Amino acid sequence: MTRMTRALSLWGLLVVALLAAPSAMARELPDFTELVKDAAPGVVNISTSRMIERSDSPFRSFGDQQIPEIFRHFFGDRLPMPPGDGQGGRHREERQSLGSGFIIDGEGYIMTNAHVVDGADQILVRLNDRRELEAELVGADEKTDVAVLKVEADDLPTLDLGDSDRLEVGEWVAAIGSPFGFDHSVTSGIVSAINRTLPRDAYVPFIQTDVAINPGNSGGPLFNLDGEVVGINSQIFTRSGGFMGLSFAIPINVAMDVADQLKSSGAVERGWLGVVIQPVSRELAESFGMEGPKGALIADLDPQGPAAEGGLKAGDVILSVDDQPVERSSALPRLIGHVSPGGSVAITVLRDGDQQSLDIEVGEWPDGQKAGGDEREAAPSRLGVSVQSLDDAQRRKLSLDQGVRVTEVDPGGIAAAAGLRPGDVLVSIGREAVQSPAQLAELVAGLPAGSAVPVRLYRDGRSYYVALRLADD
């Protein structure tokens, strides 16, 4: 009997524990209710309109209704014209779009994405209390996708701004916005990664989250658990047109630096070196005598740019800027971009196996460059390429004072394995400039066997470095 009583007691404790477990788990999950109550009034809906001119189309309207979005998904604004007599005119029509934003101070300044208000003839801001205000565009910066608006109103609720540099991967975050026009929708998730670099967005170290973001969320705030804005929801990665678990936000520290410049002058000044860079692969790192891949490899320079004038050279590997390490090449544009034009930076480079530091005066980003004789000679079989000289006209056209053009590539050779192809201009091998096919043959003959050698190429208007791994003799 005693044994049975003990067994029943143990079962009872187990049942209680199982019942209590969900409650304990629930208590560990974040509660966003107070955050939303406090923050929602400072989040706004942004609608824009602009007049566009386009050709008449039988698909222009469906009984005076807007074109279904399924057609826009495939054809955008250029819906197909059916076969016919080709008659038709042009007309002007109003195009509207929706986005989100948030109030950053009591003077009526509102932050959103540049793409939300791009080309807008009119911008309307709808507040949480249903007031609708016409907004003025103070300024927009396409490179960071940040825009600042201004409205005239009193008693505007503002949001607290956090420190995006303190964000950590795994931290809970929430978004408030107007996906598909549904005002003040709340979604939550965690920080998936920080300092993400996306194609064509070299100046933004994006915050990646798994917060559900959809069209209309753009420009809305990303909050930490303290209710502070840590980012601006900007874009998603998608193959379907909808949310797929990868959302990207502009860090608020980056956005506020841009906003302050837009408010003061309506434009953003951004530092510029005048270099073309590429990542350092393991093979290139070995060819430069580095312990591992890091830094930004200078593949080419603007001859009149700040880098060239300051003594930087193609083939230098930039390791740090003002003692801030450049672990990846994608970090360099951001580090230089934050420097005011005219300011000086100390750049540490690896050159010919030695580190040296140069003081470079950073220039201002310019408002608005392309990269190929009859003499033909085969380079040694070690490379597996045939090359020809460049005549004076070709050198002027390509803005090159050295190099030979690759005419043939052995598919089984080491050059093909490194990515060389016909039409490339082989500019240098190792640290030696290539001036002619004969000189290239001499250079290749003197290279040590079994080692990786950096080779500089010019292709399609750009310079690249590749590493050739020479076979053992």
Q: For residue 155, count other CB atoms closer than 10 A to its CB.
A: 6
d(CA 460, CA 353): 29
| pLDDT for 406 | 87
**Choice among 145, 183, 201, 424 that is catalytic:** 145
Classify burial at 59, counting beta carbons within 10 Å of its beta carbon; exposed 0-12, middle 13-18, buried 19 or more.
Answer: middle
Whose tokens are 């950590």? That residue is 168
Find the farthest-apart pair of alpha carbons in the chain and give their distance in angstroms, rounded.
Answer: 106
Give yes or no for a contact between 364 and 271, defined as CB atoms under 8 angstroms apart.
yes
pLDDT less than 50: residues of the chain: 57-87, 368-380
Q: Which one of the listed residues 57, 105, 115, 281 is annotated catalytic? A: 115
- What kind of architecture, by CATH, is found in domain 271-364? Roll (2.30)
How far apart (Å, rounded) are the C-alpha atoms in residues 424 and 77? 39
Cβ-defined contacts of 443-449 (< 8 Å, 24+)? 444/379, 444/380, 444/382, 444/383, 445/380, 445/382, 447/382, 449/473
Domain boundaries, the chain: 31-77+91-268, 271-364, 376-469
Please choose, from the candidates 269, 285, 296, 141, the residue with its C-alpha nearest in 3D space to the C-alpha of residue 204.
Answer: 141
Which residues face 464 on adjacent strands? 457
CATH number belonging to domain 31-77+91-268: 2.40.10.120
CA distance 180 to 174: 18
Exposure string over 429-457, b if 16+ CB within 10 A, otherwise e: bbeeebbbbeebbebbeeeeeeebbbbbb
pLDDT at 160: 96
Lookup: tokens for 444? 């290749």
| Equal fold, 271-364 vs 376-469 | yes
CB–CB of 7/60 below 8 Å?
Answer: no
Of the candidates 390, 386, 388, the residue with the CA atom closest to the CA atom of residue 399: 390
pLDDT of residue 14: 58
Q: What is the model's pTM?
A: 0.65
Q: What is the pLDDT of residue 53?
A: 57
- What token pair was written down for 461? 């208007």
Q: What is the pLDDT of residue 56?
A: 53
* Block residue for tokens 């404790």: 13
CA 93 to chain centre: 33
Token reading at 155: 């008693």
Which is catalytic among the residues 218, 320, 329, 436? 218
d(CA 48, CA 163): 30
218 is catalytic: yes
- Nearest CA to 147 out of 295, 261, 44, 244 is that of 261
Please give the pLDDT value at position 309: 93
pLDDT at position 368 is: 43
145 has catalytic annotation: yes
Per CATH, the homologous superfamily of domain 376-469 is PDZ domain (2.30.42.10)
The pLDDT score that the predictor gives to residue 72 is 38
